[in-house]
């Protein structure tokens, strides 16, 4: 599938902002199965400085500073992306989950890289409760593809998708207590559960097609930034590992409907926008609009 993606974020303030420094994670990644044909990121007012950088995980981060006094800041990103559905080797899916832990496979050439995603992170806290919740799916010897898909299925069934039930700072413990949240929360829950058993799991940020391909149903989260998970499994013949991607919000494997932008340990690594402003304003408003539409040809 070929998509045109646009993402507009508008901040409005009740007094002048004299200095705005920010970083945006809004450029889709180049991947096997994903090609970025066009990309643009425009900021209004025009920044005094703007540059792209690559972070520790290979994501494109756009840094900018706006020194012109303003009461409205708009960040607009647009890209054209070709996406293919991942195809997973059945031997990879059949790996017992215990053998998919980086600690169990020091022979795998990229186990060292996966290790970072098996460690705790601030927004994916690994308490006893989330470990016990994930253990129901991670039974001894169970194939990793089946085990992770079961965990994703249970999160979808056990937790209500509810806007406003959580905030960007909500913890996994908060989500377990409320039994409600949004895509970010469910991705953190899966990440924490898998890591608590030694698996390497990424938080993945991106988009879902607003208009799905023919014959596919429209999924939750298609009109905003979306989040899902990837879990590392070593290669079947001593080669590099594979990252299996699943979406707990919609209980599905990631396919050609998903556009990957960035990944990290949790949301804190890859928010669409973050920054610091200097202002006397006491009030502000945030408006976000997203569209991912198929492109013919």
The confidence score (pLDDT) of residue 297 equals 63
Residue 74 and residue 77: Cα distance in Å, rounded? 10
The confidence score (pLDDT) of residue 123 equals 93
Give the mean model confidence (pLDDT) for residues 43-50.
97
The confidence score (pLDDT) of residue 99 equals 96
* pTM, two decimal places: 0.94
The confidence score (pLDDT) of residue 166 equals 87
- When pLDDT is cut at 50, 70 and 90, the band that residue 97 belongs to is very high
CATH T-level fold of 2-83+271-294: Immunoglobulin-like (2.60.40)
Judged against a pLDDT cut of 70, whether residue 220 lies above it is answered with no
**Contact between residue 108 and residue 235 where contact means Cβ atoms under 8 Å apart:** yes
The confidence score (pLDDT) of residue 170 equals 86
Give the mean model confidence (pLDDT) for residues 266-276.
96
Q: Which regions of the chain carry the CATH code 3.10.620.30?
A: 90-268
- When pLDDT is cut at 50, 70 and 90, the band that residue 221 belongs to is low
The confidence score (pLDDT) of residue 150 equals 98
CA distances from 190 to 125, 149, 245 (A): 11, 10, 12
The confidence score (pLDDT) of residue 222 equals 65
Residue 62 and residue 54: Cα distance in Å, rounded? 9
Q: Which regions of the chain carry the CATH code 2.60.40.2250?
A: 2-83+271-294
User: Which residues contact residue 282 at a Cβ distance below 8 angstroms, ignoring those fewer than 6 apart?
Assistant: 14, 15
CATH T-level fold of 90-268: C8orf32 fold (3.10.620)
List pLDDT tens digits, range 2-42.
999 999 999 999 999 999 999 999 999 999 999 999 999 99
Q: How many Cβ atoms are within 10 Å of 227's Cβ, its own excluded?
A: 25
Residue 175 and residue 166: Cα distance in Å, rounded? 8
What is the DSSP annotation of 135-183?
HTTS-TT-BHHHHHHHHHHHHHHHSEE-TTSS-TT--HHHHHHHTEE-H
Give the mean model confidence (pLDDT) for residues 73-101.
96
Q: Across all residues in the chain, what is the average pLDDT?
A: 94
List pLDDT tens digits, range 129-178.
999 999 999 999 999 999 999 999 999 999 999 988 888 888 899 999 99
């Amino acid at each position: 599938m070929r998509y045109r993606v646009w993402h507009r974020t508008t901040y409005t303030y009740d007094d002048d902002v004299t200095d705005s420094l920010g970083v945006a994670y809004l450029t889709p990644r180049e991947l096997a199965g994903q090609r970025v044909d066009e990309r643009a990121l425009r900021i209004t007012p025009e920044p005094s400085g703007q540059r792209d950088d690559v972070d520790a995980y290979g994501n494109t981060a756009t840094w900018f500073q706006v020194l012109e006094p303003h009461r409205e800041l708009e960040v607009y990103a647009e890209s054209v992306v070709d996406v293919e559905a991942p195809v997973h080797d059945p031997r990879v899916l059949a790996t017992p989950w215990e053998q998919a832990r980086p600690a169990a496979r020091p022979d795998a050439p990229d186990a060292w890289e996966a290790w970072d995603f098996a460690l705790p992170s601030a927004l994916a806290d690994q308490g006893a409760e989330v470990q016990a919740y994930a253990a129901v799916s991670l039974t001894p010897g169970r194939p990793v593809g089946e085990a992770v898909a079961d965990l994703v299925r249970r999160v979808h069934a056990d937790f209500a998708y509810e806007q406003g039930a959580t905030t960007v700072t909500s913890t996994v413990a908060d989500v377990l207590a409320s039994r409600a949240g949004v895509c970010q929360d469910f991705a953190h829950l899966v990440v924490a559960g898998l890591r608590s058993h030694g698996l390497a799991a990424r938080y993945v940020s991106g988009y879902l097609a607003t208009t799905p391909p023919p014959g596919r149903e429209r999924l939750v989260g298609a009109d905003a930034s979306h989040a899902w998970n990837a879990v590392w499994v070593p290669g079947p013949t001593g080669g590099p590992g594979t990252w299996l991607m699943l979406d707990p919000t919609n209980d599905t494997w990631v396919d050609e409907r998903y556009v990957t932008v960035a990944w990290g340990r949790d949301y804190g690594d890859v928010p669409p926008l973050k920054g610091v402003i200097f202002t006397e304003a006491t009030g502000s408003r945030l408006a976000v609009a997203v569209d991912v539409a198929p492109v013919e040809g």
